[in-house]
């Protein structure tokens, strides 16, 4: 009778440290793990690459709804939702024609004030999907003046 | 009387162990879930809500990272450099030091920007990075592949 009790107590004692360790491991993995699925977008091209290209052509993102301005006549178009378009045909015709004029030029994307990084990235991705090979973000010592 | 008490304690002891086993089961399951599904990564000094991208592209293995918060605070490798406009010169100096440490390869950076950060203010930062001779700048995004 006594022997049985002792063996029983032994079992319960050996379980507690196990649970302790498992709880600590669980807490560690819960706090340190990250469920975000990261992606990346390349922003800058190498300098020598930029110099070998034709003169840069500017595209300006106007608002957070996909409005962009391009060309010497400052034509304005609205890019559709990126979730719907995945081909060049989804771009507005005027923009397609302007891009086709000089597909090997360096295109620089810049933003008006109030445009968020998300909107800029949407336009960047859409232009890349449309086949613009040399696309980079506009860089300048100071933000563009109005 | 003695018999009765020994009978009543024995099943209770067994019961307390029995109730622990489902607990351990659940805890083990949770542990395995977090170990397999989660990804251990270095946490940022500030929380940043990255912009969403719809193209699949892997995150390059780049050591140095720049963080830019909505409050325009700039961090280089988890160290606060200050407000964006005043921190650019400091950033330039730091990058020169980093660049001189590895003359063979060009310096690469990942950039983590909040999605509601004004995009216009990225231009001076990118200019500074290009001036410092950076060839490779990658923007980190939250990848959400398109639903087919």
Task: Flag whether A12 is in a domain.
Answer: no
Q: How confident is the model at residue B6 (pLDDT cuts 50, 70, 90)?
A: very low
Residue of A nearest to B124 (CA): A141
% residues pLDDT > 90 (chain A): 4
Task: Flag whether A96 is in a domain.
Answer: yes
Chain B within 8 Å of A15 (Cβ-Cβ)?
yes
Residue A80 near residue A94, CB atoms below 8 Å? no
Task: Flag whether A37 is in a domain.
Answer: no
How close B93 gets to chain A, by Cα (Å)?
16
pLDDT over 50 at B2, yes or no: no
What is the model's pLDDT at position B1? 47
Q: How confident is the model at residue A143 (pLDDT cuts 50, 70, 90)?
A: low
Chain A within 8 Å of B114 (Cβ-Cβ)?
yes
Chain B within 8 Å of A38 (Cβ-Cβ)?
yes
Task: Flag whether A14 is in a domain.
Answer: no
Q: How many CB atoms lie within 10 A of CB A1?
A: 6
Residues of A in contact with B130 (CB under 8 A): 44, 47, 139
What is the model's pLDDT at position A26? 92
Task: Please answer yes or no on whether A12 and B17 come within 8 Å at the CB atom.
Answer: yes
* pLDDT tens digits along B50-69: 888 877 677 777 778 888 88
Chains A–B, number of C-beta pairs less than 8 Å apart: 184
DSSP 8-state symbol, A74: T
How close B82 gets to chain A, by Cα (Å)?
18
Q: Find how far residue B143's CA is from the centre of its chain.
A: 14
Domain tally, chain A: 1
Task: Please answer yes or no on whether A22 and B31 come within 8 Å at the CB atom.
Answer: yes
> The sheet that has A75-78: what strands, in order across it?
A75-78, A67-70, A54-61, A105-111, A135-137
What is the model's pLDDT at position B29? 93
Q: How confident is the model at residue A8 (pLDDT cuts 50, 70, 90)?
A: low
Put simply, the chain B residues between 56 and 75 with a CB less than 8 A from any chain A CB are 56-60
Question: Nearest CB to A15: which of B20, B43, B55?
Answer: B20
* pLDDT tens digits along A78-95: 776 655 555 555 677 777
What is the model's pLDDT at position A25? 92
pLDDT over 90 at B134, yes or no: no
Task: Flag whether A58 is in a domain.
Answer: yes
Calculate mean pLDDT across residues B83-112: 80
Question: Nearest CB to B123: which of A114, A128, A138?
Answer: A138
Chain B within 8 Å of A50 (Cβ-Cβ)?
no
Task: Flag whether A143 is in a domain.
Answer: no
* pLDDT tens digits along A37-80: 888 888 766 555 555 666 778 888 888 887 888 877 777 777 76
What is the model's pLDDT at position A138? 81
Q: How confident is the model at residue A27 (pLDDT cuts 50, 70, 90)?
A: very high
Contacts of B80 (CB under 8 A, 6+ apart): B45, B73, B74
Residue A136 near residue A43, CB atoms below 8 Å? yes
Q: Show the domain range for A89.
A: 47-137
What is the model's pLDDT at position B147? 54
What is the model's pLDDT at position B5? 47
Chain A within 8 Å of B102 (Cβ-Cβ)?
no
Domain boundaries, chain B: 1-40, 52-143
What is the model's pLDDT at position A46? 53
Calculate mean pLDDT across residues A132-145: 74
Question: Nearest CB to A142: which of B43, B113, B124?
Answer: B124
* pLDDT tens digits along A101-117: 777 778 888 888 888 88
The dihedral through the CA atoms of B91, B95, B96, B98 has a sign that is positive
Pick the CATH number of B52-143 from 3.40.50.10140, 3.30.420.270, 3.90.1150.10, 3.50.50.60: 3.30.420.270
Task: Flag whether A16 is in a domain.
Answer: no
Calculate mean pLDDT across residues B93-100: 82
Task: Say how far apart CA A108 and CA A140 lie, in whole Å.
Answer: 11
Calculate mean pLDDT across residues B11-17: 56
CATH number of domain containing A99: 3.30.420.270
């Amino acid at each position: 009778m006594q022997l049985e009790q002792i063996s029983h107590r032994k079992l319960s004692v050996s379980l507690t440290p196990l649970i302790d360790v498992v709880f600590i491991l669980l807490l560690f993995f819960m706090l340190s793990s990250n469920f975000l699925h990261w992606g990346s977008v390349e922003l800058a091209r190498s300098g020598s690459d930029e110099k070998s290209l034709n003169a840069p052509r500017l595209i300006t993102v106007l608002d957070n709804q996909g409005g962009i301005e391009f060309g010497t006549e400052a034509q304005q178009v609205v890019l559709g939702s990126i979730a719907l378009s995945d081909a060049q045909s989804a771009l507005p015709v005027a923009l397609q024609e302007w891009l086709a004029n000089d597909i090997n030029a360096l295109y620089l994307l810049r933003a008006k004030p109030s445009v968020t990084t998300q909107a800029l990235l949407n336009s960047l991705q859409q232009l890349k999907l449309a086949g613009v090979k040399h696309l980079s973000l506009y860089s300048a010592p100071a933000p563009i003046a109005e | 009387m003695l018999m009765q008490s020994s009978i009543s304690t024995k099943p209770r002891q067994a019961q307390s162990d029995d109730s622990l086993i489902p607990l351990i089961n659940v805890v083990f399951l949770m542990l395995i879930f977090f170990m397999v599904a989660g990804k251990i990564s270095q946490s940022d000094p500030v929380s940043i809500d990255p912009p969403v991208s719809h193209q699949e592209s892997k995150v390059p293995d780049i050591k140095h990272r720049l963080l830019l918060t909505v409050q325009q605070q700039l961090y280089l490798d988890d160290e606060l450099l200050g407000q964006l406009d005043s921190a650019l010169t400091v950033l330039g100096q730091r990058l020169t030091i980093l660049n001189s440490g590895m003359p063979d390869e060009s310096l690469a950076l990942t950039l983590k920007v909040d999605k509601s950060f004004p995009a216009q203010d990225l231009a001076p930062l990118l200019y500074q990075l290009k001036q410092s001779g950076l060839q490779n700048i990658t923007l980190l995004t939250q990848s959400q592949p398109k639903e087919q």
